[in-house]
Amino acid sequence: MTLGTIGCGKMGTTLIAGAIRAGIVAADAVIGCDPLPAACEAFTEATGARTTTDPAELANACEVILLCTMPLQAAEALRDAARAAAGQPRLVISIAAGITLATLEAACPENFRVIRAMPNTPALVGQGAAAYCLGTRATPADAGTAHTLLEAVGMALEMPERFMNLVTGLSGSGPAYVYVVIEALADGGVLAGLTRAVSLRLAAQTVLGAAAMVLETNEHPAVLKDKVTSPGGTTIAGLAELERLGLRTALISAVNAASLRAAELGKAST
């Protein structure tokens, strides 16, 4: 397989680096493309792969193309790649938030197969959560390729496209919500008298450990919560305050707002 990424930002670089690290592709079979020299330099440093500022060079050489541009640039970048490929079949995996399969497929010829994916930034440390859906021309083998690439940097789930904007609002944007939670927990520790460094480490490890408990035990978060909560104890006092201040409602609303924004981005690209 020859693999390229249009866009050498953090996610493009992370996905390529993960594929190389997992032995899915060799560095000499990879090309990164970005108009910014600094991005190209950082990409090569992280992956050992070569770069170009010419999308035509990448499109001609790479069988699988990661489309890692900003959402409103995705369709145009795909059209440019399709023209440059000059009739050669290609698999395109787009991570552009909100951009639909219909929009992507309309921007390229029938010998381009398209997959829409949504990874997230914890992929940078091999703990990503990603979902993907198949275009009308994508094959089971293409699904396997996308799954393998995404799973190299975390977990990957195939699902219908109608859920992709919801995935964007939950796991795509979700790390930012969790960072706010970690920061707030650390602030609470500082308010109580702990040092900033100690509070931050305790808060981050607590979130990491709690997430691992959910994934490894397969128990509902409410069940795990109840196991920590004793009658008249400290935890129920803290939980009552979270409920009073609306943490649960705020997080639900954040996911919904981000999902709606993803849908807006998709409409703006058509």
Residues 109 and 180 in one domain: no
Residues 71 and 153 in one domain: yes
Residues 109 and 223 in one domain: no
Please report the pLDDT score of residue 270 as a whole number.
65
Please report the pLDDT score of residue 28 as a whole number.
95
Residues 152 and 42 in one domain: yes
Residues 25 and 137 in one domain: yes
Cα Rg of the chain, angstroms: 21
Model confidence at 85, pLDDT cuts 50, 70, 90, reads confident
Please report the pLDDT score of residue 4 as a whole number.
96
Q: Where are the beta strands (DSSP E) in 123-168?
A: 128-134, 154-158
Q: Does residue 128 lie in a domain region?
A: yes
What pLDDT, in 10s, does the model give residues 12-65?
A: 999 999 999 999 999 999 999 999 999 999 999 999 999 998 888 898 899 999
Please report the pLDDT score of residue 5 as a whole number.
96
Q: Does residue 169 lie in a domain region?
A: no
Under 8 Å between Cβ of 157 and 130: yes
Residues 244 and 221 in one domain: yes
Query: What are the residues whose beta carbons fall under 8 Å from the beta carbon of 142, sequence distance 6 or more?
Result: 91, 113, 115, 134
pLDDT at 80 over 90: no
Q: Does residue 167 lie in a domain region?
A: no
Instruction: Write the DSSP assignment of 219-269 as a string of letters.
Output: --HHHHHHHH--TTSHHHHHHHHHHHHTHHHHHHHHHHHHHHHHHHHHHHT
Element (H, E) at 146: helix 140-151
Q: What CATH number is given to the structural domain containing 242?
A: 1.10.3730.10
Query: What are the residues whose beta carbons fall under 8 Å from the beta carbon of 107, sequence distance 6 or more?
Result: 75, 76, 78, 79, 82
What pLDDT, in 10s, does the model give residues 97-119?
A: 999 999 999 998 889 999 999 99
Under 8 Å between Cβ of 156 and 122: no
Q: Does residue 178 lie in a domain region?
A: yes
Q: Which domain holds residue 193?
A: 174-265
Residue where one domain finishes, among candidates 132, 161, 190? 161
Q: Does residue 235 lie in a domain region?
A: yes
The whole-angstrom distance between residue 166's C-alpha and the CA centroid of its chain comes to 13
pTM above 0.85, yes or no: yes
Q: How many domains does the chain have?
A: 2
Please report the pLDDT score of residue 105 as a whole number.
93
Residues 11 and 141 in one domain: yes
Q: Does residue 244 lie in a domain region?
A: yes
Q: What percentage of the chain exceeds 70 in pLDDT?
A: 99
Q: Does residue 168 lie in a domain region?
A: no
d(CA 39, CA 229): 48
Residues 179 and 157 in one domain: no
Q: What CATH number is given to the structural domain containing 136?
A: 3.40.50.720
Angle at CA of residue 195, ends 190 and 201, nearest 5°: 90
Residues 145 and 253 in one domain: no
Q: Does residue 185 lie in a domain region?
A: yes
pLDDT at 266 over 90: no
pLDDT at 161 over 90: yes
